[in-house]
Structure 1
Amino acid sequence: MICRDHARYYAEGADRGAGTATQVADRHHLWANLGDATERLVARLRSQWVPPAPEKEKVVPSEAPEGRRVRRTRERHAAVHALMDKGMGHSQIVAELGLDPKTARKFMRAATVEELIGDRRTGRQSSLDGHAAYLIARFNEGCHSALRLHRELTERGLTVSERTVRRFVHRLRENAKPATRPPVPKVREVTKLILTHPDNRPESGRVLLKQLLHRCRELDEARELIARFASILVHRRGQEDLEQWTTDAQASRLQELRGFATGLRKDWDADMAGLTLRWNSGPVEGHVNRIKMLKRQMFGRAKLDLLRKRVLLTS
């Protein structure tokens, strides 16, 4: 028995060196090859299964956004009157909020914050009061460039600095409610969900996969074929089911799985043996991984003679 992967040189070497041996395709490599094909398939179909982006919400404030100074005034007024409601006096409020005594007294005397703000809701943006509606409309249309908006205002005959326009646009962005998009799963994440046994998928993964399969029928078709192949591989039912599976895969509209099935045909005897007999390359692969681990541990630290001793003594 010779266990190997699909590399042509392994097959040629086995034919030349042991022509009467039964060649067995390693199941680990068969599953890895199918996994690579699945990842390419998922990547190709990404535009179909990716969650749709929500519609962007426009910023439609009834008036120009408030400046930082106005917002701070509102916050201080609310804080001062909250302490007053608790029974605190002037000196206690000054100590609690760290305000200047005159400032604290002014806030205490104002019954409403509107008495302090007056007509200066937009802070230092008074030069834009007559053009705020135009700027908001242009912002909602998708023009978020302060430089371009400044140029348009200049063409409308308004003399205003670019810095003033930039501050106004910045406050519009702060007031805008950004459109939230559901997280987009990565190609490898979706591939892993498809290749994982249904009983081992987390609940969140099952819900996500169900949503993706609903959006993309081809992905659902691929999942069904892959699940069938996994059952053949695990239960070694090559003699009973491999022929039908390969025929179905080659007849599907999934070019990646058609290519995988064509590869099975090219090395049919070894693949049939791998999916029927108990032999596999597991012990060999385990030794190879152990040697690679030892090599990485010693990278740049020792020479080949010590590596040789470690490999032999731990066998």
Structure 2
Amino acid sequence: MHSRYVRRLADVAVGGRPLRIELSVRRFYCENPACVKVTFAEQVDGLTVRYQRRTALLQNLVETVGILLAGRGGGRLLGLLSAPLSRTSVLFQLMRVPLPAVATPRVLGVDDFALYAQVYGTLLVDGDTRLPITLWEGRDGAALAAWLREHPGVEVVCRDGSLAYRQGITDGAPESVQVSDRFHLWQGLSRRVQDVTAAHRSCLTAAVLPPTERQEVQPATDGEPPLETTRAGRHAKRLFEAVHEHTDSGDSISAIARKLGLNRRTVHKYARATSWQDVVRRGRLRPPTALAPYLDHLRRRWEEGEHNATILHQELVAKGYCGHYQRVKVAVASWRATDGRPIPQEAAPSPLQTARWIITPPERRGLQAQEQLRLLFAHCCELAHVHALVREFAAMLDQQDATALPGWLEKLATCGHPTLAGLAKGIREDQDAVIQGITTSYSSGMNEGRVTDVKLQKRIMAGRAGISLLRQRVILIAHLRRRSSHQAASRW
């Protein structure tokens, strides 16, 4: 023994009061002259840590709070626990925690996430344990290929339809099986269906008219100027012609955006439209008013001969109506102009609502949706054909059978809609991965769950987390949750 000295260690609070341990520690010297350590101090297992003024119990508490709440939140909680620490110290202790060793997974999940405006990152997830492996800034295929070369042995890779990830997996792990996620396939088809319903907006209006009045609805009415004479119409027509002039020459979306000085999303919207009328912004339907639930009673009382708006308003108030008298007066004013005949006005479904009806399985649709679709398909055979294609693809996903995929792609390419033809072209280019996604049980569900967790950690840190801090918290908090669940299961 060389000498003794006193170590002062901070421990977890007792009864709400800070606790300090004064420990007499022995210092030893080494008799080996070749040893670089001339003297060294003894350590008490479970109590002391080298170069640390906290006990192991308090240090574990600080690290756990830092993992769960990061800087400011962790500092506030430690202050309540009578172990005050600044936010920078909490983050410093968090960054000192070593990450778990990376083992090459058999099933790898790859997905991107938004760091901030127009900046994305890449997240890797172990498909067997569903734990995050690592993440980095950027979503290019070169970084993914480099990681796969450093960790050989990946057998299956689950991803979305990203071309960059597809090329990166092919370069880094050419022997692995790529699986295109079913969720993204269905999401891509849903978006194309919405584009098709937007192109048939006039059909949606005609489908809700009575059979005697069901005719082709013109885009302009007698009380409104023609669409091509408005400022918005002229602007949309000019951009539509300019964009399609470049698309016909074979230029890419990005090249057209640079030439015309437009946003890439704007160019993409005009490029996938079949006519310039499809991209003109139209007014949204008004939401139902407070009077809507009482219209049936109001019409019945009007037909019975009660035409006094004041009395009608008082009757509705007795039934629970909380609106103003003026709204009732305006509602019956239109009936006075038609000699007391109420004119039912049924709003046409929006393209988004119609697309949801088409995508929803028939057994989950409401009676109103089924009736609206029946009228719509009887009026527009093209939407009926699109509905049949959607149900055919849904059957392939439910039965996990891709035998009918080539024939379905041929129908999709020849249906006459450019958006659906583009989807068929994209699936053909990635057909092997799409078949794996349909027929196998692998999916990117664990990727989407971990991306949601990344977004949560970003919000906790007010979106100011750097990539290194974000990586530290996302990986450590996932392992901490897994360890806590296992401990709870073992206790039960």
User: Under a length normalisation based on structure 1, what TM-score does the superposition of the two structures give?
Assistant: 0.57
**What's 1:176 paired with?**
337
Q: How many residues get paired?
A: 202
Q: The residue matched to 1:19 in structure 2 has which SS?
A: coil
CA distance in 2, matches of 1:274, 1:26: 5
**What's 1:49 paired with?**
204
CA distance in 1, matches of 2:178, 2:421: 24
**What's 1:217 paired with?**
381
**What's 1:258 paired with?**
421
Higher helix share: 1
The Cα of 1:301 is off from its aligned counterpart by: 9.3
CA distance in 1, matches of 2:352, 2:430: 28
Return the structure number with greater relative CO, CA threshold 8 A, min gap 6: 1
**What's 1:270 paired with?**
433
Are the structure 2 counterparts of residues 220 and 310 from structure 1 closer, same or farther at C-alpha, using a change threshold of 3 Å? same
The Cα of 1:27 is off from its aligned counterpart by: 0.6
CA distance in 1, matches of 2:441, 2:397: 11
The Cα of 1:221 is off from its aligned counterpart by: 0.4
CA distance in 2, matches of 1:267, 1:174: 59
CA distance in 2, matches of 1:302, 1:265: 39
CA distance in 2, matches of 1:33, 1:173: 45
**What's 2:358 paired with?**
194
Are the structure 2 counterparts of residues 291 and 311 from structure 1 closer, same or farther at C-alpha, using a change threshold of 3 Å? farther
**What's 1:299 paired with?**
462
User: Under a length normalisation based on structure 2, what TM-score does the superposition of the two structures give?
Assistant: 0.37
Taking the TM superposition and a 5 Å limit, the aligned residue runs for 1:219-258 are: 219-238=383-402, 240-258=403-421
The Cα of 1:175 is off from its aligned counterpart by: 4.5
Q: Does 1:24 align with 2:179?
A: yes
Deviations 1:72-112 (A, max 9, x none): xxx8xxxxxxxxxxxxxxxxxxxxxxxxxxxxxxxxxxxxx
The Cα of 1:270 is off from its aligned counterpart by: 1.1
Are the structure 2 counterparts of residues 257 and 174 from structure 1 closer, same or farther at C-alpha, using a change threshold of 3 Å? closer
Q: Which amino acid aligns with 2:196?
A: L
The Cα of 1:235 is off from its aligned counterpart by: 1.5
Q: Which blocks of at least 5 consecutive residues in structure 1 are unaligned?
A: 57-74, 76-171
Q: Which amino acid aligns with 2:431?
A: W
Contact 2:412–2:421 (CA under 8 A) maintained in structure 1: yes
**What's 2:254 paired with?**
none
The Cα of 1:300 is off from its aligned counterpart by: 6.2
Q: Which of the numbers 152, 155, 158 marks the counterpart of 1:3?
A: 158
The Cα of 1:302 is off from its aligned counterpart by: 8.6
Contact 2:204–2:348 (CA under 8 A) maintained in structure 1: no
Q: The residue matched to 2:356 in structure 1 has which SS?
A: helix
Higher strand share: 2
Q: Does 1:33 align with 2:188?
A: yes
The Cα of 1:199 is off from its aligned counterpart by: 0.6
CA distance in 1, matches of 2:465, 2:160: 32
CA distance in 2, matches of 1:260, 1:301: 37
**What's 2:168 paired with?**
13
Q: Which has the larger radius of gyration?
A: 1
Q: The residue matched to 1:2 in structure 2 has which SS?
A: strand
Q: Does 1:284 align with 2:439?
A: no
Q: Which of the numbers 480, 486, 490 marks the counterpart of 1:313?
A: 480
Contact 2:400–2:440 (CA under 8 A) maintained in structure 1: yes
Q: Which amino acid aligns with 2:204?
A: W
CA distance in 2, matches of 1:173, 1:48: 27
Taking the TM superposition and a 5 Å limit, the aligned residue runs for 1:46-195 are: 46-51=201-206, 175-177=336-338, 180-195=344-359
CA distance in 1, matches of 2:427, 2:366: 32
The Cα of 1:174 is off from its aligned counterpart by: 9.0
CA distance in 1, matches of 2:463, 2:404: 50
Q: The residue matched to 2:175 in structure 1 has which SS?
A: coil
Q: The residue matched to 1:279 in structure 2 has which SS?
A: coil
RMSD (Å) for aligned C-alpha atoms: 3.1
Moved more, 289-298 or 34-43: 289-298
Deviations 1:17-53 (A, max 9, x none): 1111011111111001101111101101111222467
Are the structure 2 counterparts of residues 312 and 214 from structure 1 closer, same or farther at C-alpha, using a change threshold of 3 Å? same
CA distance in 1, matches of 2:441, 2:167: 23
The Cα of 1:2 is off from its aligned counterpart by: 0.8
Contact 1:294–1:311 (CA under 8 A) maintained in structure 2: no
The Cα of 1:311 is off from its aligned counterpart by: 5.0
Contact 1:295–1:307 (CA under 8 A) maintained in structure 2: no
Q: Which blocks of at least 5 consecutive residues in structure 2 are unaligned?
A: 1-155, 214-220, 222-307, 309-332, 483-492
Q: Which amino acid aligns with 2:163?
A: R
